[in-house]
Structure 1
Amino acid sequence: MGKTAHVSAIVWIAALSLAAWLWLLLCQGFFWRTDIRLPDRTAPREWPSVCVVVPARDEAAVLPASLPSLLAQDYPGPAEVFLVDDGSRDGTGDLAHALAARHGGLPLTVDSPGEPPAGWTGKLWAVRHGISLARAREPEYLLLTDADIAHTPDSLRELVAAARTGGFDAVSQMARLRVESPWERLVVPAFVYFFAQLYPFRRIGRRGARTAAAAGGCVLLRAETAERARIPDAIRQAVIDDVALARAVKGAGGHIWLGLADRVDSVRPYPTLHDLWRMVSRSAYAQLRHSPALLLGTVLGLALVYLVPPLAVLFGLAAGSAPTAVCGALAWLVMAGTYIPMLRHYRQPLWLAPLLPFTAFLYLLMTVDSAVQHYRGRGAAWKGRTYARPDAVADEG
């Protein structure tokens, strides 16, 4: 009797996992589709002025592959690049000057704001300084882009055309991340897949929808909207600044759009699992608002959705429980099927799709490690800086 009850409980858990996947497949904004690209657009009669703001801290390794692509933009209107050197120790600022002298193109200003005051992340303090410099030019748009992002020559032109045609206050593209090492192939497409699952791109672009997110590597922002939303002052403590920016813009009545990029690529390498682990764990617990309850819910949710299907198949086969094995296999099939479009987007082999439970398990461990590092006082650490929780900063103040 006890064994039968045990098997029955496993069947119900497997069935619940399958139900969760059917709901995700049909009711979560079709997050798994990868056809959300820059919307229909036409060239404006007069091209507005744009200032490009690039915060950079110790980026000498990637700058030669990214900065020349910005300087080479074939934008028909007035455009200028502001690179803000956030206390680099590797000669980032000098290298930027040298690259501009070598490649020419758009005008480049390199400046530094000094160390950020308490309550500011280094990146957002640099963005604030860059926007302050840009305001002297009275641009209509700001392009906020990271120092590891390379743009095709028509990237800025297409972003502005999309913003103007669609009436968007912010247009953001999820840069295509590097997938060259074995660990990058396993982990990186899943990173974008999980992001889209949390923030379905289709919902973000709908007027009146509550879902808000952006990809910090490439955000074209109307300057007037940035001022109205108090960007970046309103989000100065945000470690996950792109989502915070999108929420601030929507909160100020702005219309935003987010999709996958065709013209924007990240050139930053994450060759080892350790590199990818640091990239995820440094901000995962901040995403959960440093809440133990949300952490527990996330771990249980990841286990139910991603780990139960393969475990149910193994248990069902071992225990001779066909319902358990069938529910697990169907859930695993739906999971792998929804992952295939993202693998195709990244031009990766489809045999990686059934391995998604293993990748999800890695993300689960990274999330738990993020919380552990936070409580050890090493949370949200990046390039020599560690950021406290916003409420901790407020308490100290």
Structure 2
Amino acid sequence: MGLFGAACVSLAAWLWLTFAQGMFWRTDVRLPPRSAPARWPSVAVVVPARDEAGVLPLSLPSLLAQDYPGEARIVLVDDGSTDGTADVARRIARGHPGLPLTVVSPGEPGPGWTGKLWALRHGIAVARASTPGGPDYLLLTDADIAHAPDSLRELVAAATSAGLDLVSQMARLRTAGPWERLVVPAFVYFFAQLYPFRRINRPGGRTAAAAGGCVLLRTEAAVRAGVPDAIRHAVIDDVSLARAVRDSGGRIWLGLAERVDSVRPYPALADLWRMVSRSAYAQLRHQPLLLAGTVAALALVYLVPPAALLAGLAGGRPATAWAGGLAWLLMAGTYLPMLRYYRQPAVLAPLLPFTALLYLLMTVDSAVQHHRGRGAAWKGRTYARPSDA
């Protein structure tokens, strides 16, 4: 296939993505219409935390300060931290009166368990034992997530009003540094392209995903789905959780957050690289053929358009230039809403091919690390290959 043919295929792909992939590029999927329930259900907030002493002062006070009208408590699970995470959490709670906080430690993960899911399993068990009859809902939220004071109230109101078993909001990630501005909005854009929110939220839809930083889960639905035990080995735990709930008959919802923010910094490209590469190959089910197809698709969809435009202009091939230019224009146009959501300048939109190249390299690196026997590594833990677990 020549460059003109590749540009035409890329243009066709962008026409399909723009108009037939669930309007993934729109950023207006927010919490559904909601009203206060007649009785506010009980909630247990479960926070898995491993070596999070640096971010807890920015996030934990926001949970303690929730103005939830019903019964609510927080269980923070210290997942083998070496930086005094548990002591920091207790000290913060003493200085910020609010929701009651329990800090527990489950020890090292059992065989076949990832650290986060092991921590969630222990935290959920503690929450159910400490609440008479067990809590009606579980808010599973990461230690780096800061919530507005009404966050829990709005999540519960949305779940009860719409009859949802799982309500998840994708927290707004930090974009303070130059690499964060370049990479982070694209991370959410690519996620929405793979898992269009409108398809996830459609009753009876086949697409399932959640954002692990903020998941409100009906306890009854968790029991019915057998989670977290049923997904104990999952590296991409949020997508696995949503699938388990959906497959057991539950209704799920995912959208962008308005006042739920990640406070974790990623100041260097290496930090963002580790965040993406630790799970990229797991997303491809550790299949070399899927990896090859993904690399080819990324190159065709994101790298061919600028190459065709520049080569067409330089070589006097207007048809090639037009095909590449139109594909690049659609790419940048669909990226603009995400940049606006992240309050970033529109000038970053034409740079999406370069960002996609970075993600392509991160994905290849993830596969290389996997085949070197390192699996998915995060915060000092390396998880075995699925066949070894």
Q: 1:42 aligned to 2:74?
A: no
SS at match of 1:52: strand
Looking at structure 2, the residues matched to 392 and 242 of structure 1 have their Cα atoms a distance apart, in angstroms, of 22
The residue that corresponds to 1:199 in the other structure is 195
Match of 2:88 among 95, 102, 105: 95
The two structures, once aligned, show a CA RMSD in angstroms of 0.7
Looking at structure 1, the residues matched to 289 and 213 of structure 2 have their Cα atoms a distance apart, in angstroms, of 30
Deviations 1:207-263 (A, max 9, x none): 111000000000000000000101100000000000000000001000000000012
Deviations 1:318-339 (A, max 9, x none): 2211110000000000000000
SS at match of 2:103: strand
SS at match of 2:77: strand
Looking at structure 2, the residues matched to 389 and 76 of structure 1 have their Cα atoms a distance apart, in angstroms, of 45
The residue that corresponds to 1:3 in the other structure is none
- Aligned letter for 2:108? E
Match of 1:215 among 211, 218, 229: 211
1:389, distance to aligned residue in structure 2 (A)? 2.2
Q: In percent, how many aligned pairs have the same letter? A: 76
**Aligned residues of 2:80 and 2:107 also touching (Cα < 8 A):** yes
The residue that corresponds to 2:102 in the other structure is 109
Match of 1:371 among 367, 373, 386: 367
Q: Which aligned pairs between 1:52-91 and structure 2 lie closer than 5 A? A: 52-91=45-84
Match of 2:116 among 120, 123, 130: 123
1:390, distance to aligned residue in structure 2 (A)? 2.0
**Aligned residues of 2:281 and 2:367 also touching (Cα < 8 A):** yes
List structure 1 segments (4+ residues) > 3 angstroms apart after TM superposition: none
Match of 2:11 among 18, 31, 42: 18
SS at match of 1:115: coil
Q: Which runs of 5+ in 2 are unaligned?
A: none
Looking at structure 1, the residues matched to 259 and 61 of structure 2 have their Cα atoms a distance apart, in angstroms, of 15
The alignment covers a number of residue pairs equal to 386
Q: Which aligned pairs between 1:163-178 and structure 2 lie closer than 5 A? A: 163-178=159-174
Looking at structure 2, the residues matched to 49 and 79 of structure 1 have their Cα atoms a distance apart, in angstroms, of 6
The residue that corresponds to 1:139 in the other structure is 135
The residue that corresponds to 1:262 in the other structure is 258
Looking at structure 2, the residues matched to 225 and 270 of structure 1 have their Cα atoms a distance apart, in angstroms, of 34
The residue that corresponds to 1:240 in the other structure is 236
**TM (normalized to structure 2)?**
0.99
The residue that corresponds to 2:21 in the other structure is 28
Looking at structure 2, the residues matched to 339 and 378 of structure 1 have their Cα atoms a distance apart, in angstroms, of 34
Looking at structure 1, the residues matched to 135 and 270 of structure 2 have their Cα atoms a distance apart, in angstroms, of 41
SS at match of 2:110: coil
The residue that corresponds to 1:230 in the other structure is 226
1:87, distance to aligned residue in structure 2 (A)? 0.4
SS at match of 2:92: helix
Looking at structure 1, the residues matched to 218 and 110 of structure 2 have their Cα atoms a distance apart, in angstroms, of 26
Looking at structure 2, the residues matched to 379 and 68 of structure 1 have their Cα atoms a distance apart, in angstroms, of 34
Looking at structure 1, the residues matched to 201 and 25 of structure 2 have their Cα atoms a distance apart, in angstroms, of 16
**Aligned residues of 2:373 and 2:385 also touching (Cα < 8 A):** no
The residue that corresponds to 1:274 in the other structure is 270
- Aligned letter for 1:194? F
1:378, distance to aligned residue in structure 2 (A)? 1.9
Looking at structure 2, the residues matched to 13 and 100 of structure 1 have their Cα atoms a distance apart, in angstroms, of 58
Looking at structure 1, the residues matched to 3 and 357 of structure 2 have their Cα atoms a distance apart, in angstroms, of 20
The residue that corresponds to 2:378 in the other structure is 382
SS at match of 1:318: helix
